[in-house]
Amino acid sequence: MAISVRIPQPLRGLTHNQSVVDGEGATLGACITQLEAAYPGIKERLMDEGGELRRFVNIYLNGEDVRFADGLGTALKDGDELSIVPAVAGGC
């Protein structure tokens, strides 16, 4: 199963500067585990100590926020596109 995973600039050091990598897994959680095996360190950037997605990281499946689906249990299928988007905050 091939899933395209779009990597934001702050995480590209972990993916050898690739902006898109291939992922696999029946769920988002499984895909993150597979990404960790291929790109060590990425999981700790996406998930907190409790095993949940970090508050400041948004992940979209085909343009839809996974927080409004099943979170880490969100089902994935061949051809899906995941986009990792760090939250932006601050300003004057």
Domains by residue range for the chain, with CATH: 3-86 (3.10.20.30)
Compute the distance between CA of residue 50 and CA of residue 26 in angstroms, rounded to an integer.
Answer: 21
For residue range 62-88, what is the model confidence (pLDDT) as tens digits? Answer: 999 999 999 999 999 999 999 999 887
Compute the distance between CA of residue 92 and CA of residue 88 in angstroms, rounded to an integer.
Answer: 13
Per DSSP bridges, beta strands 3-6 and 64-65 are unpaired
For residue range 5-44, what is the model confidence (pLDDT) as tens digits? Answer: 999 999 999 999 999 999 999 999 999 999 999 999 999 9
Distance of CA 62 to the CA centre of its chain: 12
Instruction: Please list, in sequence order, all residues whose beta carbon lies within 8 angstroms of the beta carbon of residue 75, skipping any fewer than 6 positions away.
Output: 26, 27
